[in-house]
């Protein structure tokens, strides 16, 4: 930005008397001097050190992303996006996961990002509340339809994208999210831009431009939760990051310092935040090691409660008539995000910690089946939901909880969860993660193809292309295989 602009304003304002436009130059100088945009761009373009563990995490992310995308591929929202896209003059060159349609590159990023989020079953970076895989994997895979990307490059680009989106997200979170923005919609695009830009070989300056374009596309309101529009956010992030990187590659101009600029991304969205957090330890530490993979198909803040409810169910086979009441003790975010008392649809059930508690107690699981319209409206689960009351414990972390069940017999059972299943200190094993993937992949393709695809992902390297992964994701191939 033009520094003289602000200085000039101030000079003239001392003559006049209008307070409103005087800005604190010192604050702005501090922000501008951080060069966060440039540092992240340099990192995205040049970083070369990737240890095997980080690459393995990236494979886990890909497999989990594919699984939840297969799971979401039959959602009616996908039908609507594909139907809408098909009348807009777009050709069929990019894979739509789990479907026999193909679509143009930008819509592929959009729809694959949508389906990977619509079950609320995708991974979460708890320090930023960004869902990291859908924006980045959806963008990279869409690009692979028109650009050669080998497996090694794809995994490294993904790690970089993960790093950029979650670091930007960490700066915004939690104030920004409380204000009403959906973190993945706001920060996810930067991950997509970083990953795609790296693959396209952007210069550092072009990467800064790509971040600028992505920033001015960033959006996503929390008031969309419980509707299909929530899940368009990660798709939109994938699309805008991909598009921003492509535009920048072709010479489109943007602000070079969008993150720290006066009236830039951070000032507009989170003026009092610590920008330094976005670049601290950059290149030495990896946010990907702090990823959470969901064992349950609903808002991640409900997971420690579900762990507790399932544990109590194992202790004694609960049924509706045994339960007098249930008390849950939770981090404050739980009621901020998932306090729907009487959900009436599957999507709403995902935002009801009461429903999640009841499902854990009655069904012993919280997979996609517990969040169908039918199950949410079933009598037994509705009865138990009513018996659940919540208590805030602000010393609890988002991965922590306690569930206490008061039995009609007078007995009281309590279970404390220090780390929810799937989070950093209690991760899913590779086998558990693959099991989650397979439960959904086999429905969209067949079991044999789902198994083969999983092996393909675990063995991904520089000898194969990302487009080879995508080829195995289309149900068209399945139909062809069936015919042959």
Which 264-323 positions form the footprint of its own copies (CB under 8 A)? 264-265, 267-268
**HEC profile of 457-473:** HHCCCCCCEHHHHHHCC
Which one among 332, 451, 468, 471 touches its own copies, defined by CB under 8 A?
Answer: 332
CB of 90 to its own copies, least distance (A): 5
Is position 61 an interface residue for its own copies (rule: CB under 8 A)?
no
Residue among 58 and 200 whose Cβ is closer to its own copies: 200
CA separation for the pair 92, 200 (Å, rounded) = 22
Is position 77 an interface residue for its own copies (rule: CB under 8 A)?
yes
CB of 222 closer than 8 Å to CB of 177: yes
Continuous H helices in 201-227 = 204-217
Query: What part of residues 135-154 is at the interface with its own copies (CB under 8 A)?
Result: 145-146
Structure tokens given for 332? 């404050």
The helix/strand/coil state of 384 is helix
Query: What part of residues 369-398 is at the interface with its own copies (CB under 8 A)?
Result: 389-394
CB of 80 to its own copies, least distance (A): 5
CB of 249 to its own copies, least distance (A): 8
Which one among 251, 410, 482, 484 touches its own copies, defined by CB under 8 A?
Answer: 251
Residue among 221 and 378 whose Cβ is closer to its own copies: 221
CA quadruple 349, 352, 358, 363: dihedral sign: positive
CB of 460 to its own copies, least distance (A): 25
* Interface region with its own copies, contact rule CB under 8 A, candidates 54-62, 100-108, 425-433, 457-465: 100-108
Residue among 208 and 423 whose Cβ is closer to its own copies: 208
Query: What part of residues 393-432 is at the interface with its own copies (CB under 8 A)?
Result: 393-394
Map residues 213-232 to x or -, x wherever contact with its own copies holds by CB under 8 A.
x-xxxxxxxxxx-xxxx--x
* Interface region with its own copies, contact rule CB under 8 A, candidates 92-100, 150-158, 317-325, 450-458: 92-100
The helix/strand/coil state of 339 is strand
* Interface region with its own copies, contact rule CB under 8 A, candidates 57-65, 151-159, 256-264, 456-464: 256-264
Question: For the CA atoms of the chain, what is the radius of gyration?
Answer: 23
Residue among 250 and 425 whose Cβ is closer to its own copies: 250
Structure tokens given for 475? 């149900």
CB of 435 to its own copies, least distance (A): 31
Provide the β-strand partners of residue 391: 329
The helix/strand/coil state of 181 is strand
CB of 333 closer than 8 Å to CB of 392: no
Is position 255 an interface residue for its own copies (rule: CB under 8 A)?
yes
CB of 241 to its own copies, least distance (A): 13
Query: What part of residues 159-198 is at the interface with its own copies (CB under 8 A)?
Result: 178-182, 185
Furthest C-alpha separation in the chain: 82
Is position 93 an interface residue for its own copies (rule: CB under 8 A)?
yes
The residue to which tokens 């959009």 are assigned:
110
Q: What is the DSSP string of 284-313?
A: TB-GGGGEE--SSSS-GGGHHHHHHHHHHH
Q: What is the DSSP letter of 345?
A: S
Is position 2 an interface residue for its own copies (rule: CB under 8 A)?
yes
Residue among 396 and 437 whose Cβ is closer to its own copies: 396
Structure tokens given for 424? 């950093």
CB of 200 closer than 8 Å to CB of 133: no
Which one among 50, 56, 252, 430 touches its own copies, defined by CB under 8 A?
Answer: 252
Of all helices (H) and strands (E), which one includes residue 164?
helix 151-172
């Amino acid at each position: 930005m033009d520094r003289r602009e602000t200085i000039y304003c101030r000079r003239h304002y001392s003559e006049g008397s209008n307070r409103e436009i005087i800005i604190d130059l010192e604050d702005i100088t501090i922000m501008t001097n951080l060069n966060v945009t440039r540092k992240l761009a340099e990192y995205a373009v040049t970083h070369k050190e990737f240890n095997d563990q980080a690459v393995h995490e990236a494979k886990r992310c890909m497999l989990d992303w594919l699984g939840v995308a297969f799971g979401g591929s039959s959602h009616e929202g996908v039908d609507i996006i594909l139907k809408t896209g098909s009348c807009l003059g777009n050709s069929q060159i990019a894979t739509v996961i789990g479907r026999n349609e193909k679509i143009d590159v930008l819509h592929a990023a959009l729809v694959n990002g949508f389906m990977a989020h619509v079950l609320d079953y995708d991974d979460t970076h708890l320090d930023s509340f960004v869902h990291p895989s859908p924006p980045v994997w959806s963008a990279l895979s869409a690009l692979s339809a028109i650009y050669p990307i080998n497996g090694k490059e794809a995994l490294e680009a993904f790690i970089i994208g993960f790093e950029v989106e979650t670091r930007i997200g960490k700066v915004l979170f939690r104030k920004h999210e409380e204000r009403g923005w959906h973190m993945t919609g706001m920060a996810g695009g930067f991950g997509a831009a970083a990953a795609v830009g790296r693959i396209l070989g952007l210069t550092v300056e072009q990467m800064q431009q790509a971040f600028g374009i992505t920033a001015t596309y960033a959006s996503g309101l929390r008031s969309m939760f419980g509707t299909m529009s929530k899940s368009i956010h990660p798709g939109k992030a994938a699309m805008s990051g991909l598009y921003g990187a492509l535009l920048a590659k072709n010479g489109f101009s943007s602000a070079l310092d969008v993150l720290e600029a006066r009236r830039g991304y951070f000032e507009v969205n989170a003026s009092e935040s610590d920008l330094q957090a976005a670049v601290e330890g950059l290149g030495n530490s990896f946010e990907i090691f702090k990823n959470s993979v969901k064992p349950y198909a609903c808002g991640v803040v409900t997971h420690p409660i579900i762990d507790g409810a399932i544990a109590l169910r194992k202790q004694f086979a609960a049924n509706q008539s045994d339960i007098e009441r249930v008390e849950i003790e939770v981090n404050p975010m739980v009621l901020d995000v998932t306090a729907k008392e009487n959900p009436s649809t599957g999507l709403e059930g995902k935002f009801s910690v009461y429903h999640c508690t009841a499902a854990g107690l009655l069904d012993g699981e919280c997979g996609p089946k517990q969040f169908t319209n039918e199950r949410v409206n079933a009598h037994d689960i509705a009865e138990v939901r009513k018996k659940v009351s919540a208590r805030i414990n602000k010393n609890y972390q988002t991965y922590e909880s306690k569930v206490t069940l008061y039995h009609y017999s007078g007995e009281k059972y309590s279970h404390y969860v220090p780390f929810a299943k799937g989070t950093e200190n209690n991760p899913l094993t590779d086998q558990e993660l693959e099991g989650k993937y397979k439960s959904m992949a086999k429905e969209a393709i067949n079991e044999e193809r789902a198994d083969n695809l999983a092996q393909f992902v675990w063995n991904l390297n520089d000898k194969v292309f990302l487009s080879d992964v995508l080829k195995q994701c289309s149900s068209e191939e399945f139909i062809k295989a069936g015919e042959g």
